[in-house]
Amino acid sequence: MSRKYFGTDGIRGTVGRTPITPDFMLRLGHAVGRVLKRSYAKPSVLIGKDTRISGYMLESALEAGFASAGVNVLLTGPLPTPGVAYLTRALRQHLGVVISASHNPFADNGIKFFSSKGEKLPDAWELDVEAVLDEPPVWVDSANLGRARRLDDAQGRYIEFCKASFSGDLSLRGMKLVIDAANGAGYQVAPSVFHELGAEIITIGNKPDGYNINDKVGATAPQALVAAVKEHQADYGIALDGDADRLQMVDGEGRLYNGDELLYVMVADRLAQGQRVPGAVGTLMTNMAVEVALKAQDIEFVRAKVGDRYVLEELSARGWLLGGEGSGHLLALDKHTTGDGIVSALQVLQAISRSGKSLAQLVEAVTLFPQVLVNVKLKPGQDWKSAPKLAETQAAVERELGRNGRLLIRPSGTEPLVRVMVEARDAAQAKACAERLADTLRS
């Protein structure tokens, strides 16, 4: 059954257009409240948000919707998405709600939900909510309305949680770091965590005004971090996205490290400590070099669909702990129930501190394969899978690449496009193969 409002990561869109409107958010809060009351007599939910100007409006509408269904609300104010997941679990709330559009520009916003265990909720729960959205509201009477209150120490609680994920016998003393908070939800929390662990801190992207979230800063625009690391002669730079669940890192030479490389560092550090790592999970887009490097150490590598929720599902099904995406969504399930940019950065800095090696040295075994992505625009109603000679061309490319590369053809989830990705040890070969496939789709 298809979903009307929920995508791969909650509900997201442009503010002022359905579903990101105050009237829909009131209905959504009411519908979610009614679903919760099937399991709890007096549910309580925790709501956090990023720094977008629209967060105030959506927060108020959701709060009213929950209250109208008889649900109590605990408000944290600006807090990273993983902070909401943590506090939902720590404070025994029945649901966590995040108002954020993650790495999108300020004109967008969205809603994510976490279970009482701090985990992403399954498709079945989202379908239940959508079914109730189609029903008339059932307002509770005045005696049974929900209450709302603010949690004053939310940031302090989350800072201590992040610090606890870093080894107690190590510190960051002697390390100079640039922290880029993307003018987003981590703008107060992130600098505090690294400072309190002993690092010298320079901060950028930490002056949100409601409109500048992810604007030329953060994990999706790391050039600002590269420049700041060089300017301040820092050892490393850490870039988060708007809701602080993604991570990109930069070293003193200005080299950028993506989530694929950082996942390898996390796995290798566990192995170096003598811990058992039966396997790791990436996605269909994870660079093949990571798979090759892990298999060389007898670590099984599995690819999930694109999206951190699918990485999490695969890890949970296999009982594994480590996974992630090249975008910087990284999971260490013995540290947190969801992706956390700050906690992930601490795991990488822990590996650096413990090994005495630089980040460049830690990823020497991973030489990223050149990756070429071609977007093929579809005509209205075009059935791209039936393109003449597609199967024949695909088979020929796969034979040519052999074990030295791979290809992926998948439709965009948001645009009328088919994405053709080819990676190979040889950049020219990857480009030529991608163009051959794209031409076949266009014919």
In single-letter form, the type of residue at position 309 comes to: R
Q: Is the N-terminal amide bond of 19 cis, ω within 30° of 0?
A: yes
Check: CB of residue 248 under 8 Å from CB of residue 257: yes
Start-to-end CA span in the chain (Å):
33
Distance in angstroms (rounded) separating the CA atoms of residues 233 and 236 = 9
| Number of neighbouring beta carbons within 10 Å of residue 418 | 22
Check: CB of residue 45 under 8 Å from CB of residue 71: yes
Mark whether 102 is an active-site residue: yes
Q: Diameter of the chain by CA atoms?
A: 71
- Both structure tokens of 428: 């020219």
Pairing, β 236-240 against β 247-251:
antiparallel
| Number of neighbouring beta carbons within 10 Å of residue 275 | 11
Check: CB of residue 216 under 8 Å from CB of residue 324: no
Catalytic residue selected from 68, 102, 327, 344:
102
Distance in angstroms (rounded) separating the CA atoms of residues 3 and 131 = 10
Check: CB of residue 247 under 8 Å from CB of residue 238: yes
Distance in angstroms (rounded) separating the CA atoms of residues 307 and 65 = 29
Distance in angstroms (rounded) separating the CA atoms of residues 21 and 348 = 39
Q: To 10 degrees, what angle do helices 189-196 and 341-355 make?
A: 20
In single-letter form, the type of residue at position 50 comes to: D
- Both structure tokens of 100: 């954020």
Distance in angstroms (rounded) separating the CA atoms of residues 339 and 332 = 8
297 CA to centre of own chain: 27
Catalytic residue numbers, as ranges: 102
